[in-house]
């Protein structure tokens, strides 16, 4: 019995000595584990900080880039606004100019219609196609301003050429007795004209008037008019031919 009690006491004493060491080892293991976890946390934090700093740097660069782009865009917008203002002013100038040109073209169209109604027959024939495009009411014309200007320029050009040329045409002239005869007419620009029909002994003089050309019978000049026409056509040598004329 005494031996059993001694054994139990020894075992209890051994257990009592082993228990503090176990606690110390457990605490040491926990401390080591805590150090390991702390080291890992520090490493992870450093990596996360580096990544965060890189992102912050990238964001700062992006912000600076977009600031520059915004400033550039604002400057371009300012320049564009200035250019738009200049274009608006230019547009207003062009509209005023177009308005003035439109008024001029409309006036010329109206005047040309009146002039062509009194113009010599060969000139009216020359500009027949162009004159047909002259609007009766310029304000209602559907043609573009460019087309109208080109049409007016074409008629004026033909009128200028006619004024500087000698023109011969074949026309039917009404005679004082009420009959009609085919005659050759020699136009000296817009200033004077003479006609003749040698076979019938018919001749006369024409002058521009307020209502059109005014024709006067002058049968005695038939030979002279015929000679002048033949010389102009190179059908006979040049010579002095007296023809009646008046200057106004």
User: For the chain, how many structural domains are there in total?
Assistant: 2
Cβ-based neighbours of 183, under 8 Å, separated by 6 or more: 170, 171, 172, 173, 195, 196, 197, 202
- pLDDT the model gives residue 166: 93
Q: Could you say which of 134, 161, 188 is where a domain stops? A: 161
The larger pLDDT score, comparing residue 134 to residue 6, is at: 134
Tell me if 214 sits within 8 A of 192, measured CB to CB. Answer: no
Determine the pLDDT at residue 18.
53
Assess whether 144 and 176 both reside in one domain: no
Q: Within a domain: residue 183?
A: yes
Mean pLDDT of the chain: 86
User: Are 143 and 182 members of one domain?
Assistant: no
In a domain, 212, yes or no: yes
In 3D, which of 188, 197, 186, 110 has the Cα closest to residue 148? 110
Q: Do 178 and 225 belong to one domain? A: yes
Give the integer Cα–Cα distance in Å for 77 and 75: 5
Residue 241 inside a domain? The answer is: no
Q: Is the pLDDT of residue 9 over 60?
A: no
pLDDT tens profile 142-160: 899 889 999 999 999 999 9
Checking if the pLDDT of 7 tops 60, the result is no
Q: Higher-confidence residue: 97 or 235?
A: 235
Residue 248 — pLDDT band, cuts 50, 70, 90? low
- CA pair distance 216, 23, nearest whole angstrom: 151
Given this model, what pLDDT does residue 165 score? Answer: 93
180 and 130, same structural domain? Answer: no
Does 6 score more than 50 pLDDT?
A: no
Whether residues 181 and 150 fall in one domain: no
Cβ pair 132, 100 in contact under 8 A: no
pLDDT at 45: 85
**In terms of domains, do 203 and 170 share one?**
yes
Please give the pLDDT value at position 20.
63
Write out pLDDT tens, residues 56-106: 988 888 898 988 888 888 898 889 888 888 888 888 888 787 788 889 999
210 within domain boundaries: yes
Continuous segment of H or E residues that includes residue 150: helix 145-163
pLDDT of 244 > 60? The answer is yes
Is residue 191 a part of any domain in this protein?
yes
Asked if 194 contacts 183 with a C-beta cutoff of 8 angstroms, the reply is no
């Amino acid at each position: 019995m005494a031996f059993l009690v001694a054994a139990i006491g020894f075992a209890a004493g051994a257990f009592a000595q082993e228990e503090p060491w176990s606690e110390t080892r457990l605490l040491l293991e926990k401390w080591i584990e805590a150090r390991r976890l702390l080291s890992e946390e520090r490493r992870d934090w450093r990596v996360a900080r580096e990544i965060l700093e890189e992102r912050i740097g990238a964001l700062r660069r992006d912000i600076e880039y977009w600031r520059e782009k915004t400033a550039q865009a604002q400057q371009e917008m300012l320049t564009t606004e200035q250019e738009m203002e200049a274009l608006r002013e230019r547009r207003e100038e062009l509209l005023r100019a177009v308005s003035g040109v439109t008024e001029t073209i409309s006036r010329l169209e109206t005047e040309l219609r009146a002039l062509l109604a009194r113009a010599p027959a060969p000139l009216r024939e020359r500009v027949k196609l162009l004159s047909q495009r002259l609007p009766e009411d310029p304000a209602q014309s559907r043609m573009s301003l460019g087309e109208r200007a080109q049409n007016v320029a074409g008629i004026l050009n033909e009128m200028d050429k006619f004024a500087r040329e000698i023109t011969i045409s074949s026309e039917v002239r009404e005679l004082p007795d009420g009959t009609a005869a085919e005659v050759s007419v020699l136009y000296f620009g817009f200033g004077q004209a003479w006609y003749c029909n040698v076979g019938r002994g018919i001749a006369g003089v024409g002058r521009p008037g307020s209502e059109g050309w005014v024709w006067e019978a002058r049968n005695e000049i038939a030979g002279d008019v015929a000679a002048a026409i033949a010389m102009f056509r190179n059908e006979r040598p040049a010579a002095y031919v007296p023809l009646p004329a008046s200057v106004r």
